[in-house]
Amino acid sequence: MSEWIAFAKMNGLGNEILVADMRGQEGRIAPEAARALAARPETHFDQIMAIHNPKVTGTDAFIRILNADGTDAGTCGNGTRCVVSALAAETGKKTFTFQTISGLLNAQEREDGLISVDMGMPRFAWNEIPLAEPFADTRCIELQIGPIDAPVLHSPSVASMGNPHAIFWVKEDVWSYELDRFGPVLENHPLFPERANITIARVTSPSSMDIRTWERGAGLTRACGSASCAAAVSGARTGRTGRSVAITVPAGGELLIDWRADDHVVMTGPAEWEWSGRLDPATGDYRRDEADAAEAS
């Protein structure tokens, strides 16, 4: 039997996150445990951010990110803000460096309580995203869905933010597209050998856009940080926007994305704690702290 660990149910602008404290533990959260937690309404999540002991000097922690289907995600911007919020509350520190399977992430809690995460540099080469076949220009690739002569979604921009993204530019309200129907088909399209996060984006001004995302391994989510970054850099790359963009996510709030002159993409937004508990990393059994307290009294 594995040792139960502390976790917090949080959200990053509506992106459902479990922050799990695996520091001092040998193993990892089992994919089956993740799937069991995702299947229950109370612990349903889009990503688990598992905080492990640092593996590299100079970093605060190694973060393993799991999707709701138990697969690993290379990066999760909204989840990283939740980790910063939890560790800042615990330690009083304001700046952090994390290691993930996709590389290092620097993040800080600002004076105003919002959290900024340096999501690193975007990558645009077809084999870095990756795509299954060469495209010289990834600002607009050949891919469409819907009737052949009147496609509903077509010609996306593609980018990697440490994970693969396709951004479909749309003219109408983002809520008028059946992303729940097209999302799974596009996520698993043969053009994406590692699957992809699928976003529809409507530019509303040179510095703003509305997006909705079908996330690889998680489905429709109320916000996706790395997709917001991918949409902002793709907007700038295609001349649709400037390099500082406010992204309105399905949950209703905004993420501020700044593609800096040094090529790093900085994402700023809130993180919110909801409740805490303990869970079994092998099975996904869990208990809320309040339930423990009620039983003890």
78 annotated ligand-binding residue: yes
User: Closest separation between CB of residue 68 and ligand API, Å?
Assistant: 8
Cα-Cα end-to-end distance for the chain: 27
CA-nearest of 196, 179, 216 to 141 is 196
- The single residue listed with the structure tokens 């660990």 is 5
Main-chain phi, psi angles of 175, to 5 degrees: -80, -10
User: Closest separation between CB of residue 287 and ligand API, Å?
Assistant: 26
Closer by beta carbon to ligand API, 78 or else 157: 78
Closer by beta carbon to ligand API, 203 or else 218: 218
Query: Catalytic residue among 76, 82, 140, 229, which?
Result: 76
Closer by beta carbon to ligand API, 74 or else 206: 74
Binding site for ligand API (CB under 6 A): 15, 46-47, 67, 73, 75-79, 163, 197, 215-218, 221, 224-226
User: Closest separation between CB of residue 101 and ligand API, Å?
Assistant: 11
15 annotated ligand-binding residue: yes
Dihedral over alpha carbons 94, 99, 104, 110 (to 10 degrees): -20
47 annotated ligand-binding residue: yes
Return the exposure string of 165-203: e unless at least 16 CB atoms fall within 10 Å of the residue's CB, then b. bbbbbbeeebeebebeebbeebbebebbeebbbbbbbbb
User: Closest separation between CB of residue 227 and ligand API, Å?
Assistant: 7
- Asked whether 71 and 97 are in contact (CB, 8 A), the reply is no
Does residue 229 have an active-site annotation? no
User: Closest separation between CB of residue 201 and ligand API, Å?
Assistant: 15
Does residue 140 have an active-site annotation? no
Spatial neighbors of 171 by CB under 8 A, at least 6 apart, are 202
Cis peptide preceding 250, ω within 30 of 0: no
225 annotated ligand-binding residue: yes
**Closest residue to ligand API using C-beta atoms:** 225
Query: Catalytic residue among 82, 140, 224, 229, which?
Result: 224
CA-nearest of 207, 223, 230, 208 to 122 is 230
Cα gap 63→161, rounded to integer Å: 16
Closer by beta carbon to ligand API, 47 or else 234: 47
216 annotated ligand-binding residue: yes
Closer by beta carbon to ligand API, 38 or else 280: 38
157 annotated ligand-binding residue: no
β pairing state of 244-248 and 208-215? parallel
Could you list the active site residues?
A: 76, 224
Binding positions are: 15, 47, 67, 77-78, 163, 197, 215-216, 225-226
Binding positions for substrate are: 15, 47, 67, 77-78, 163, 197, 215-216, 225-226
